[in-house]
Structure 1
Amino acid sequence: MKPDPRKPPVLAEKLLRWICAPHQVESILGDLHEEFIFQAKKVGLQKARLFYWCEALGFIKLRYIKRKKSPYSSTFIFSHDMIRNYFTIAWRTLSHSKVYSFINVIGLSIGLAAAMLILLYTKDEVSFDQFHANNPNIYRITSQFISTTGQQKGLGANTGFLQGPKFAAGVPEILHAVRYHGHRNDIKKGNEIKSEEVFRVDSSFFSIFSFPLLSGNPQTALKEPRSVVISEEMAEKHFGNKNVLGKTILMKDSFDKDARFEPFTVTGVAQKSPQNSSIKFNFLIPIVTNHGEMERSQNWFNTFLNTFVVLAPGTNVSLVEKKMNLVYNADAKEAIKEVAAKFGVTDRKVYRLQPFTEMHLSADLPADNGLTDHSNPQLSYILTGIALFILTIACINFVNLTVARSLKRAKEIGVRKVIGGGRMQLVVQFLGESFLLCLAAFIFALALVQLTLPTFNHLANKALAISYLFDIKLILGYLLLFFATGLLAGFYPALVLSGYDPVKTLYNRMQLSGKNYLQTSLVVLQFTIASFLIIGTLTINSQFNYLINKDLGYNDEHLISVEKNNLTREEAHLLTLELEKDPNIIAVAPKNGGRWNTAAKVSGNIELQFAYETIDPQFLPTIQVPIVNGRNFSDAFPADSARSVLVNETFVKQAGWKDPIGQIVDFWYDNLKYTVVGVVRDYHYTSLNEKIGPQLFTMKPRNQYGRFFVKIKAGTESTSLRHIGETYTKLFPLDPYTYKFIDDENQKRYESEAKWKQIMLFGTVLTIFISCIGLFGLATLSAERRTKEIGVRKVMGASVTSIARLLTSDFLKLVCISFVFAFPLAYYAIDKWLQNYPYRVDVSAVTFLEAALMAVVVAFLTVSFQSVRAALMNPVKSLRSE
């Protein structure tokens, strides 16, 4: 019986059943029959039968190759040839898809570079002060006040002269103690005088801390009272070389009016302090204390320096703390009673030990008072969060683009499976492509790190170098980052691609199942992160602008501050007369230096703490702060300096006064009482990061001035500064002349906020950029997949605008959905952040609308370009592309 010519060739079917695996035959034959019917209608039976035979022989050939142990066989063990084949195919695939490869490499490299920079930053942060040989046995002596009810309060890290020597003598577990005190000294070189920070330390300094000396004996360098150890930088600066042992430096105490320049002999030259050190010095001189100071028990209550101790290895720290407090309570017993009786102090003081390596990132007991580079741990968390955001978005791009373009590789996957490729081999193949892309991105990221490191150092206030990359721990961290990124970015696409049905893929019937919820979810996550960062950036920018533009309550324009320690009333009067000879000088007013704080009793027994300012009658008019009640100090009232004070509005509120004029302020510990003669309008005498506190102004003769303010005419800065400098040098030839513009100083108070603003801006820009290139890639692949649909719509009369809107709307919907998640998260985060500021902007709906508009506009511009391009295609070409 002859076979029906309208049916497929029977012999071909028999061959297929004989050669192919039983579980595959029915699926293969079903697809071949469908294709046969289609071809028969299209080109006729004869050509259809020929086509059937060709396809059948193709399958038979592939199965024969498999039986001969094809290198793609699932039973074949991975070999050198197989791995080389994988890399060859991966390279060809990536090189033939240049846009896709470029997007992934750029996105991943930016994400990896951000992560690398944060690893550098974090390594530097956690390595602070770790280089000392005596770690982890170095501690700083701290203290805490405990109330009569047992409540802990009043943490402090400063000590006085007594704590170090007394505890070292009374606690056997303390091997060494060293005091460390920063002080301003005037240093004379020829006729030039400059004020430098000089640190007074005990001679045991180099026994505790590992700061190598280029020359000199660390054991004896600080034994003599007039010895000095200088840094190699200062040796070059003052003497032109580093061989300076035995040479002298003229130095005097800046705060001692009667001090004279004394020669200090250089007994050591120290290497430059490491970048990751809390102790950085240029000059070290010995602390000199006399027997009387050490025996005076009231000195237990002085707090002006840092004291460090080295404990014996294996020591119980809690036990040492108990012994320290026993020494304190025994030695200071009478002084404690005296202070309690005089000042009414009922809280007891307890000494603690803080690990030296914890100071750098401590929020409660930071590295200060001569210690440098204290860091806010929140900055590390936020930088890490931004880096993770950027890297996450880059990985999301990889997953989305790989899955989206997977239909283009469907036939390749089908062929590999038909000839015997197992799923695990396909997973390895696609993971190999992922790691190849990551390798290219990793190399490019290293170049980006080197290129952007100076900018990053400026933002993070660091001096990191690319040489940090060669640290073994950091290299291991980068390798872990590389493998984690490659695995995270490639694992899911590898599983998806390797799971395709080979028969469907060979006949172009493969479609992504369902609505591809993962891909859409990842796009939403991308723009949730991007929108979150946009809102954060806008808020930080608004807060920064608020801080630098807010009215401070006084006029800081064209106002110059000149430092002059121990300025007497007579010197201030003479200085004012000399300066006002220049018509460009509007006013001159002296004031105390630094920030003074004290306490007094008001309204009977209410003890009030306040800022304590020493001024003259010209100060408030010079900075243009008005008197809102009563009067200013006046030369017409000679008793003002002995009996009168001014207070600000906050002082009045906290004192509970309804009529402040005539009220008494009782400095009971000095047996002095003053009468309030005027109320000063509140002004921000500190930064806007602090609330305006109580403030009291006095003209007490015993208080000396520490600087003076000069108000000049606008546009006369050069001539006025020249006149001020010449006058100062003429009157005080042995004192260094330094000046500051007050408005510049006020701006510098918000350098931290400025850096936050820049960091968030860079992070947001990078996030948006990576999100957009990913969205561009998805839009491109979406347009390619819908080529025939676009052609049909155009033939049916659809306009370019409607097609572009169709292709764009799907992505814009996802961006809008992201706002549902981004807005609550952003509101919570910025509300928490703004609570750190007593004076702050409100969380405004306008900020969220601006962020939403920016995200939508950026996404629209990204997607619309490719959408319009696809909509403008010739429909004939679109229909033929199938």
Structure 2
Amino acid sequence: MLKNYLKIAIRTLTRNKIFSVINIAGLSLGLTCCMLIVLYTKDEVSFDRFHKYKDRLYRINVTMTGPEGTSNISSTNAIHGPSFKQEIPEIKEIVRAQSNSFITKKGNELFSEKVLFADDNFFTVFSMPLLSGDPQTALADIHSVVVSEDVAEKYFGTKDAVGKIMEFKIGEKFEPFVVSGVAKKCPQNSSIQFESVISFKFQETNGWTDSEWLGFYMNTFVLLHENTNGQLVSAKLDNVFKSKSAEEISKIKDFNQKIHFYLQPFLDVHLDDKSGGLHNGLAHGSSPVYSYLLSGIAIFILLIACINFVNLTVARSLKRAKEIGVRKVVGSQRKQLVYQFLGESLLLSFLAFTLAILLTQIVLPTFNELANKQLALSYLLNIQLVSGYIILFLLTGLLAGFYPALVLSGFSPAQSLYNRTKLAQKNQLTKALVVFQFALSVCLVIGTIVIYSQFKYLMNKDLGYNAENLMSVNLGHGRYDRENQEVIKQELQQITGVGSAALFNGNYNETGAKIEKGDISFGYIGVDDDFLNTMKIPLVKGRNFSKSFASDPFQSIVVNEAFVKEAGWKDPVGKEVNFVWKNQKLRVIGVIRNYHFASLKNEIKPLVLTQDPDYGLRTIYVRLHGDNIPETVRQVESVFRKYVKLTPFEYKFEDETNEQRYQSEAKWKQMITLAAILSIFVSCIGLFGLATFSAESRRKEVGIRKVMGASVASIAALLSGEFIVLVLIAIALATPVAYYGANLWLRDFAYRETLSWWYFAIAAILAVLIAAVTVGYQSIKAAFMNPVQSLKTE
């Protein structure tokens, strides 16, 4: 019996090749999406769960509330952790972590390596296994270093590196550090990522740490004793802070910040997108929104694929009416027919499942690149997931085949043999599903257009300076005096391919000062006289820094338009800004045009440019001419190596840096585009199934119309019209939803493209055209059918 069912199923599938291919393709795409998203979600929820003390680990976070609002900070200072441990008995261990870049040496080669400074209990609190070395003592010596297996291979050609020497540039010389342990490569589902770890005591010994209670620049992790309530400990943090920081705060005039400490469960760190980002040994941050969005798309595609399978199977049922009638006449029971059709459904599902596994393996590298993951199909090979996929396979086959099996097996033999079988033409549920499918497809198409437009806007918006052919070179961490830097700059400007060069401190620091109306916060950067000219930033008022004014480095600053607006000045030139923290009043000599020194997601903030001689300038901007840039870069490197001996040559171009700020948007642009294509595909399958269903059930009507003189065009238009109406309804429903979603997404950008009517018009026209092509084949085929064949009853 089973052999007979299988034989009939195979014959049915091969006899209806187009129908079988469409059904298998739809189901396999749905299953492929599910497999990919299961891999993604499994990786997301598994982050940091391998740690032995995962349920007792926390990170200390801070919220600061002031006149300008509330900000979340995931940083602390060196003094916070030890003080909290001393005062709160529920805290068993604290681990401080701060990362920094150092120059290392291998023979005559120089490299830039990121080093994580951590307390010596780092490897006992966190489950980061060592291939060699003792976790208890690996960081006991301040001149010891634990390296990853990749670093060991890179520097020593072997993982057996314990006892070997690495040289790190400390100040103006290289100091030896003994490798005391080799760690396994950090798991990809770990928020903690490092290449080298040095004892935090090295920083303390060298006086690199800050003991102020109002400083926030490193991570502090807490391990609580067993059966300790984290919320109760959080409540005690503020009490300790208030008592310990009272004297420090009392020295600050008009202190108006409310500071609140709390413990964040370490397992929540990976999906936390509100605490100021990941740094100092933490990486791979994500947002739960991504998992929800991808899971929703995958479930939708699989569900619709199953629904489309039902529609297509029922639509094809009239072709098998006589087969069912004959089977019933010769004694076949209804349950046997149900088994037969369920068997066909399971066979089709098995083929789709097999194809889905192959497709998943093929597209996984591309998906990894888009999702910034390192997923592998082998992750599915555990008992829970294998069992889950077997259940998914059975459910897919049974759910997709159950309804058609009941419908087909219920046909009357007499009606079937006389081709009088009727199916409900006004299947409102099926039509509603088609509307739903196309509504989502239109939403995704509009989303794709909006994302593409916004990305193009980000790449082409005037940033207030010229980023084209502008490269920056890091001069290293050593103390290079201004005279030496000026020599480098002058020599660079003599290169034929170089237009100009300027010195810059390397990053935008946040600070504050006092003006007439009160406190003001702003970015604070150190520059030289040629900075504005090299960056092509225009002055709107006053003058630039100049060597003609010897007092400029000590008495003058230049501000941007946002600073002037925030300060409420009408005539800013000559105004004073009181830098209380450096006990100095500086005078505004010029105002520059606002320029975007941060992402376009953020509004331009107030900015101050200074020539403070104590502010080290560690970066040089070089404006290149457009001709033969590779050769010019080589000449810049030769000048660099001539004067900067103990630092590797590292450079980047500003336009590439700006583009990297929107990598997440670029990847989601591709993801949403792919989702839109898949959604349109499965929607077309559903529409094709409904068109087939309509054409089969209206055969006699078409025959009568042709006998009465109706043209092929009019019949095709009649059959296609109802489906175009469904698509138009879908467009009407999707437009306000897409408009709301697009506005919601664009809110993340302070500077954004304006939503235009043509975004929605293109999506609507595309949906109608795709629908017309999809149903056109069946409509024209039905219109050309011989009316004699349509009208005969025997």
Question: TM-score, normalising length from structure 2?
Answer: 0.94
The C-alpha deviation readout for 1:47-88, integer Å capped at 9, x for no partner, is xxxxxxxxxxxxxxxxxxxxxxxxxxxxxxxxxx4x555545
Structural mapping, 1:736-775, within 5 Å:
736-775=648-687
Matched, 1:356 2:266: yes
Please give the residue correspondences for 1:439-588 in structure 2 after superposition, counting only pairs within 5 Å. Answer: 439-564=350-475, 565=477, 566-588=479-501
8 Å contact 1:120–1:468 — kept in the other structure?
yes
For residues 284-332 of structure 1, give each alpha carbon's deviation from its aligned partner in whole angstroms, at most 9, with x where no partner exists: 1111268899999953233221111211121121232344444434443
Name the structure 2 match of 1:113: 32
CA deviation digits over 1:825-861, x for unaligned, max 9? Answer: 2122112111111111222221111001011111222
**For residues 527 and 62 of structure 2, what CA distance do their matches in structure 1 show?**
34
Instruction: Give the structure 2 partner of residue 654 of structure 1.
Output: 566
User: Amino acid of the residue matched to residue 96 of structure 1?
Assistant: R
Cα deviations by residue, 1:797-821 (Å, 9 ceiling, x for unpaired):
5444333333332322221221122
Structure 1 equivalent of residue 727 of structure 2? 815
State the partner residue of 2:50. 131
AA in 2 matched with 1:109 = S
Structure 2 counterpart of 1:286: 199
State the aligned residue count. 791
Match for 2:722: what amino acid? D
After TM superposition, the structure 1 = structure 2 runs for residues 696-775 of structure 1, keeping only pairs within 5 Å, are 696-775=608-687
Query: In percent, how many aligned pairs have the same letter?
Result: 49
Which amino acid in structure 1 is aligned with residue 32 of structure 2? A
Query: Residues 592 and 614 of structure 1 are in contact (CA less than 8 Å); yes or no, is this contact kept in structure 2?
Result: yes
Q: Does structure 1 residue 155 correspond to structure 2 residue 72?
A: yes
Structure 2 counterpart of 1:226: 143
The amino acid of 1:99's aligned partner reads: I
Can you list the C-alpha shifts for 1:98-135, whole angstroms capped at 9, x where unaligned? 22222111101001100110111001001111111111
- For residues 438 and 70 of structure 2, what CA distance do their matches in structure 1 show? 45
Unaligned runs of 5+ in 2: none
Residues 427-456 of structure 1, C-alpha deviation per residue, up to 9 Å, x if partnerless? 554444333322221111111111100000
Residue of structure 1 in register with 2:173 after alignment = 260
Task: Specify the SS of the correspondent of 1:203.
Answer: coil
> Cα RMSD (Å) of the superposition?
2.6
| 2:77/2:213 contact within 8 Å kept | yes
What amino acid maps onto 1:472 in structure 2? I
1:396 aligns with 2:307: yes
Task: Establish whether residue 677 from structure 1 lines up as the match of residue 589 from structure 2.
Answer: yes
With over 3 angstroms needed to count, the CA separation of the structure-2 counterparts of 1:294 and 1:615, relative to structure 1, is closer
Q: Secondary structure at the match of 2:564?
A: helix
Q: What is the CA distance between 1:202 and its match in structure 2?
A: 1.2
Cα distance, 1:529 vs structure 2: 1.6
Please tell me whether the aligned partners of residues 804 and 864 of structure 1 are also in contact (alpha carbons under 8 angstroms): yes
Distance in 2 (alpha carbons) for counterparts of 1:133 and 1:371 = 18
Task: Classify 1:167/1:740 alpha carbon distance in 2 versus 1 (closer, same or farther; 3 Å).
Answer: same
Taking a change above 3 Å as real, the CA distance of residues 839 and 567 of structure 1, as seen in their structure-2 partners, is: farther
Q: Deviations over 1:708-756 (max 9, x none)?
A: 1000111231121111111111101111210001111111111111111
2:59 to 135, 140, 143: 140
- In structure 1, the partner of 2:90 is 173
SS at match of 1:118: helix
Separation (CA, whole Å) in 2 of partners of 1:268 and 1:327: 36
Q: Show CA shifts across 1:232-261 (max 9, x none).
A: 1111111111112111011124xxxx3420
Determine the C-alpha separation between the residues in 1 that align with 2:570 and 2:395: 68
1:306-360 deviations in Å (ceiling 9; x for gaps): 111211121121232344444434443422323xxx2422434332111111000
Kindly indicate whether the alpha-carbon contact (under 8 Å) linking 1:393 and 1:767 is maintained by their aligned counterparts in 2: no
3-state SS of paired residue (1:299): coil
Between the aligned partners of 1:345 and 1:420, the Cα distance in structure 2 is 92
Q: Deviations over 1:599-640 (max 9, x none)?
A: 111124x21101112111211111111111111111221111
Contact 2:509 2:524 in 1 (8 A): yes
The one-letter amino acid of 1:236's match is E
Q: Residues 88-107 of structure 1 correspond to what in structure 2 (within 5 A)?
A: 88-107=7-26
CA distance in 2 between partners of 1:706 and 1:595 (Å): 12
Cα distance in 2 for partners of 1:418, 1:825 equals 53
The AA in structure 2 aligned to 1:180 is A
Distance 2:501 2:537 in 1: 15
| Contact 1:787–1:881 under 8 Å retained in 2 | no
C-alpha deviation, 1:417, in angstroms: 5.6
Q: Provide closer, same or farther for how the CA distance between residues 738 and 556 of structure 1 changes in structure 2, counting only shifts above 3 A.
A: same
Answer whether contact 2:418 2:793 (CA < 8 A) is retained: no
Alignment equivalent of 2:512, drawn from 576, 593, 599: 599
Q: 1:729 to 1:291 in 2, by over 3 A?
A: closer
Matches within 5 A, 1:398-413: 398-413=309-324
Whole-angstrom distance in 1 between the partners of 2:44 and 2:230: 25
Q: 2:115 aligns to what SS in structure 1?
A: strand
Q: Which whole-Å deviations, capped at 9, do the CAs of 1:170-199 have from their partners, x for residues lacking one?
A: 333222221111110100111111111011
What SS does the aligned partner of 2:178 have?
A: strand
Equivalent position SS for 2:463: coil
Query: Match of 2:245?
Result: 332
Contact 1:400 1:522 in 2 (8 A): no
Q: Structure 1 length normalisation: TM-score?
A: 0.85
Shift of 1:384: 1.4
**Distance in 1, Cα, partners of 2:510 & 2:264:** 26
In the alignment, the residues of structure 1 paired with residue 791 and residue 332 of structure 2 have an alpha-carbon distance, to the nearest angstrom, of: 34
User: Residue 692 in 1 paired to residue 607 in 2?
Assistant: no
For 2:37, the aligned partner's letter is I
Instruction: Return the letter of the residue paired with 2:311.
Output: N
Q: Is the 8 A contact 2:361 2:377 kept in 1?
A: yes
**Can you give the 5+ residue segments of structure 1 that lack an aligned partner in the other structure?**
1-80
**Deviation for aligned residue 1:371:** 0.8
2:167 is aligned to 250
Deviations 1:253-273, CA, capped at 9 Å, x for gaps: 4xxxx3420011111111111
Query: Using the alignment, how far apart are the partners of 1:484 and 1:662 within structure 2?
Result: 76
Deviates more, 1:718-727 or 1:300-309: 300-309
Instruction: Give the match's secondary structure for 2:521.
Output: strand
Contact 1:642 1:699 in 2 (8 A): yes
Q: CA deviation at 1:540?
A: 1.0
2:577 is paired with a residue whose SS is strand
Letter in 1 for 2:227: G
In the superposition, relative to structure 1, how do residues 265 and 762 fare at CA in structure 2: closer, same or farther (>3 Å)? same
Residue 575 of structure 2 aligns with which residue?
Answer: 663
Paired with 1:873 and 1:514, the residues of 2 have a C-alpha distance of: 20
| One-letter amino acid of the counterpart of residue 319, structure 2 | K
**Closer, same or farther in 2 for the Cα pair 1:778/1:664, shift >3 Å?**
same
Alignment of 1:637 onto 2:554: no
Please state if 1:386 is matched with 2:297. Answer: yes
Whichever residue aligns with residue 193 of structure 1, its letter is L
Q: CA deviation at 1:789?
A: 5.1
Secondary structure in structure 2 of the residue aligned to 1:261: strand
Q: Which residue, 113, 117, 120 being the options, matches 1:203?
A: 120
Give the Cα–Cα distance (whole angstroms) in 2 for the partners of residues 484 and 596 of structure 1.
57
Q: Which letter does structure 1 place at the counterpart of 2:140?
A: K
3-state SS of 1:143 partner = strand
Q: Which residue identity does 2:16 align to in structure 1?
A: S
- AA at the equivalent of 2:35: M
Q: Relative to structure 1, is the Cα distance of residues 779 and 574 closer, same or farther in structure 2, using a 3 angstrom cutoff?
A: same
* Mapped contact 2:78–2:211 kept (Cα < 8 A): no
Aligned to 1:5: none
CA shift digits 1:442-473 (9 cap, x unpaired): 11111111110000001100000111010223
Counterpart CA distance in 1 for 2:783 and 2:415 is: 29
1:313 is aligned to 226
